Amino acid sequence: MDLKFQMQAKIQKPLEEVFEAVYDPKKLSQYFTTAGASGYNTRVVMNFESLDPRSTLIKISESGWKETQEGLESSYGNCHGWTQMICCLKAYLEYAINLRKGYF
């Protein structure tokens, strides 16, 4: 069994703005992270595709967990985390809403 996943979302902002919101740690911390990340040695791939001048498709995939119960559970947790990140990104860029404020 190959433990991997992919999720995607359309963000109604230009590609450059979406990329910067993910790439720039100061911008990323405005809607998602509060500290660094650590854990498994997996492979994360992010693709940014311009759909038109005002919208971007972002795809995030992750693979490389060990085929164990712990690896399976960790992959589910990371899938949940990346899905939450994409939702937070969309809310922040499109509506200036920080979904994580007061979440934890």
Of 52, 60, 74, nearest to 22 by C-alpha is 60
Helix then strand then coil, in percent of the chain rounded to 5, is: 40, 25, 35
Instruction: Please tell me the CATH superfamily of domain 4-95, with its number.
Output: START domain (3.30.530.20)
N- to C-terminal Cα separation, the chain: 33
pLDDT at 104: 66
From first to last of the 104 residues of the chain, give the pLDDT tens digit. Answer: 788 999 999 999 999 999 999 999 999 988 987 665 667 799 999 999 999 999 999 999 999 999 999 999 999 999 999 999 999 999 999 999 999 887 76
Prediction pTM value = 0.88
pLDDT at residue 103, as a whole number? 72
